[in-house]
Amino acid sequence: MDRSLKFHLEQACGSARAGVLVTSHGRVPTPAFMPVATQGSVKALGPDEVEEIGARIVLANAYHLCLRPGVGLVRKLGGLHAFSGWEGPMLTDSGGFQAFSLGRLGRLTEDGLLFRSHIDGSEHLLTPESSMRDQLGLGADIIMCLDQCIAVGEGREAVGRAMERTHRWALRCRDSRRGYPQGEGGALFGIVQGGVFEDMRRESAGYVTSLDFDGYAIGGLAVGESKAEMYGMVELVTPLLPRDRPRYLMGVGAPEDLVECVYRGVDMFDCALPTRVARNGALYTPQGRVDIASGRFRDVVGPVQDDCDCYACRRFSAAYLHHLFKTKEILGLRLASMHNLRFVLRLMEDIRQAIAEGELETFRREFLAAFTPTDEGARQSHKEAWMRARGMLGPSGPA
């Protein structure tokens, strides 16, 4: 493996860890949250703003960037960092989830994922080898193995077949990565699958760690299972992963999930949730989400959150943000996105401090006592509707 990525574990508090990722584009204190820059940008924000908010690493989507503008052009223009203006570390995902989520536009084969572009209908084959080539061509600091995503609600047999194919693809990714120069960047993470089946998660962790990757991700969660099931799988898997490598829980970003999963040993997260809900007027506070378009904020003189140090809260009243959303001004989307990302990134900073002080249990208890999560039933209904629209539900729906 590349080993251009270094991970220094600095302190532990129970299962939780504080450390530092060291890449050729900078250092990332962990636990870390990665804002999602799908097309090479965090929606509505510039790279300098994302950095000022406190992000040290972002995630870009290989599927979208390979289709448009294309790896060749990005490479010609100096790689993804130069192309996007983001100077810090960057992780790219394999594109497997996006190809899978195309539903009727995609077809799974042992060789890879055959799909038609959602842009122009052109046909593409995404394989472990092409995924390595494209992610390395983009110039990311961390790249991901191609894995097989599974529809929510699929039974044990289907989950097992997907896990085994994920293992075969992981080996192909590793061997393909070794065929490229071992220069700076391109550290490869393997992905543990297995749904909500404990024995499969154990088997997957055992096989994937045997391939000696630079880091390890836990995939296939936050896709419709209950929070209790997700937390249970995280708690099961993290002790099975090497202590000296970073652990990444894919696609998780709700504040309560960040607290609970760091507590269970996760180091890295990504999710579009903070910015997506921001654009719909849902802003995070220590007590939970609030709807800034609600009439209760029409004449509130103070900020959305009194002790928040984001630009929106430092400069503007909640009444002004309410006005921006009611009048559909683009600035409202930008300020809300700044606030939610700062809330999540500051939460990670506070968690890290609590680990350093040996007080994470107290921090967790106090945070969860104050913060009211989104109703789980409503959350699962929204997720199910989103997945059904994309053909991503198995015959029995969510597990």
Catalytic residue among 93, 141, 257, 267: 93
In a domain, 1, yes or no: no
- Least reliable range by pLDDT among 27-36, 102-111, 305-314, 382-391: 382-391
Asked if the model's pLDDT at residue 246 lies above 50, the reply is yes
Together in a domain, 150 and 249:
yes
Together in a domain, 191 and 317:
no
Q: Which of 151, 165, 182, 170 is nearest to 216 (CA)?
A: 170
Together in a domain, 138 and 161:
yes
pLDDT of residue 2: 45
- CA 229, distance to chain mean position in Å, is 18
Q: Report the alpha-carbon distance of residue 350 to residue 180 in Å, rounded.
A: 39
pLDDT confidence band for 215 (50 / 70 / 90): very high
In a domain, 384, yes or no: no
pLDDT confidence band for 260 (50 / 70 / 90): very high
Asked if the model's pLDDT at residue 6 lies above 90, the reply is yes
Together in a domain, 194 and 282:
no
Q: Is residue 244 among the annotated active site residues? A: no
Q: How many domains does the chain have?
A: 2
Q: Report the alpha-carbon distance of residue 195 to residue 148 in Å, rounded.
A: 11
Together in a domain, 134 and 78:
yes
Together in a domain, 120 and 88:
yes
In a domain, 233, yes or no: yes
pLDDT confidence band for 221 (50 / 70 / 90): very high
pTM: 0.94
pLDDT confidence band for 150 (50 / 70 / 90): confident
Chain position carrying tokens 């929510």: 152
In a domain, 49, yes or no: yes
Residues 6+ away with beta carbon under 8 Å from 35? 42, 50, 55, 58, 59, 270, 274, 275, 341
Domain limit, last residue, from 270, 303, 337: 270
* Helix, strand, coil percent values for the chain (each to nearest 5): 45, 20, 35
Catalytic residue among 141, 147, 267, 270: 270
- Least reliable range by pLDDT among 133-147, 149-163, 208-222, 343-357: 149-163
pLDDT of residue 398: 42
Q: Which of 144, 117, 118 is nearest to 131 (CA)?
A: 144
In a domain, 393, yes or no: no
Together in a domain, 139 and 222:
yes
Q: Are 31 and 266 in contact (CB under 8 A)?
A: yes
In a domain, 364, yes or no: no
Asked if the model's pLDDT at residue 151 lies above 80, the reply is no
Domain span at residue 135? 6-270
CATH code at 76? 3.20.20.105
pLDDT of residue 366: 98
**Backbone φ, ψ for residue 282 (5° rounding):** -95, 115
Q: Is residue 307 among the annotated active site residues? A: no
